[in-house]
């Protein structure tokens, strides 16, 4: 087993628990792609996290403890101190404290982690060379490209006629799972549509870190569209995609 880089260990823990901001997440994930040791450590952390979250293992903290923790001054930093803390405590003590509390204390922690990973993946995809693995406007090329790479078949309708031209697709990783990312454009903006198996979860519409997100389930698949376009435009994208996908 190759050892992880010493200066990345705390960041890897923060990445797994969704405690890094978008910029640090993108930089850490880019490092993992080219570092075998850190990649193995990240996989180990994901495995440990999955075990801890299993039935009979995870402990639900009592309300009294959660209230006491919420009142800690370390978790209620004044705005003037936030940048200073993020500079040297963020990836270290503060990140470790928040990560350790997230498992036992925070409600819907898993959902929050997935939301942050979706935004981070979208931001990372905007870097040169990261947007698509297969670049084409032809659905008959993108759809079969996923065959053999994932064990499900996401629909890939062409939506250029309604203002969302297809740009291609790629594989990505969300919450430790390989997902399909289908890429569309809206004028000069990018819409990343993440698709993975799962029919649980109601449709949701929300914003995170300045990005609009639309989520829905259909035909045994879960969809999450992320973009910086106006919320109304992303809702329209969802409507047009569902109509064209059949």
What's the full length of the chain, in residues? 246
**Banded model confidence at residue 99, pLDDT cuts 50, 70, 90:** very low
The whole-number average pLDDT for the span 98-108 is: 41
| pTM score, whole prediction | 0.59
Q: What is the bridge-based pairing of β-strands 221-227 and 166-174?
A: unpaired
Ranges 20-29, 112-121, 210-219: which has the least confidence: 20-29
In this predicted structure, what is the pLDDT of residue 228?
95
In this predicted structure, what is the pLDDT of residue 76?
60
The whole-number average pLDDT for the span 28-40 is: 86
Higher pLDDT, 97 or 211: 211
Greatest Cα pair distance in the chain: 56
| CATH 3.30.200.100-classified regions of the chain | 111-245
Higher pLDDT, 118 or 66: 118
Q: How far apart are CA 12 and CA 239, in angstroms?
A: 37
> What CATH topology corresponds to 111-245?
Phosphorylase Kinase; domain 1 (3.30.200)
What percent of the chain is predicted at pLDDT more than 70?
A: 80
Q: How far is C-alpha 125 from the chain's CA centre?
A: 11
The whole-number average pLDDT for the span 50-60 is: 66
In this predicted structure, what is the pLDDT of residue 100?
43
* Whether residue 81 has pLDDT greater than 60: no
């Amino acid at each position: 087993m190759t050892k992880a880089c010493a200066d990345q260990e705390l960041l890897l823990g923060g990445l797994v628990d969704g405690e890094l901001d978008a910029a640090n997440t993108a930089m850490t994930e880019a490092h993992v792609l080219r570092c075998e040791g850190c990649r193995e450590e990240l996989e180990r952390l994901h495995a440990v996290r999955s075990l801890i979250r299993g039935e009979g293992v995870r402990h639900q903290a009592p309300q009294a403890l959660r209230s006491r923790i919420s009142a800690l001054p370390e978790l209620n930093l004044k705005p003037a101190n936030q940048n200073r803390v993020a500079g040297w405590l963020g990836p270290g003590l503060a990140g470790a404290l928040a990560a350790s509390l997230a498992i036992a204390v925070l409600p819907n922690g898993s959902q929050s982690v997935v939301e942050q990973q979706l935004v981070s993946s979208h931001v990372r995809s905007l870097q040169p060379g990261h947007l698509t693995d297969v670049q084409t406007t032809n659905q008959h090329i993108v759809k079969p490209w996923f065959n053999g790479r994932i064990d499900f078949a996401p629909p890939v309708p062409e939506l250029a006629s309604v203002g969302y031209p297809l740009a291609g697709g790629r594989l990505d990783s969300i919450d430790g799972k390989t997902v399909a990312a289908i890429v569309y454009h809206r004028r000069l903006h990018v819409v990343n549509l993440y698709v993975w198996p799962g029919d649980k979860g109601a449709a949701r519409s929300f914003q995170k870190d300045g990005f609009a997100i639309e989520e829905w389930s259909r035909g045994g698949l879960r969809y999450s569209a992320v973009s910086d376009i106006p919320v109304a435009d992303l809702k329209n994208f969802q409507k047009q995609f569902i109509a064209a996908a059949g």
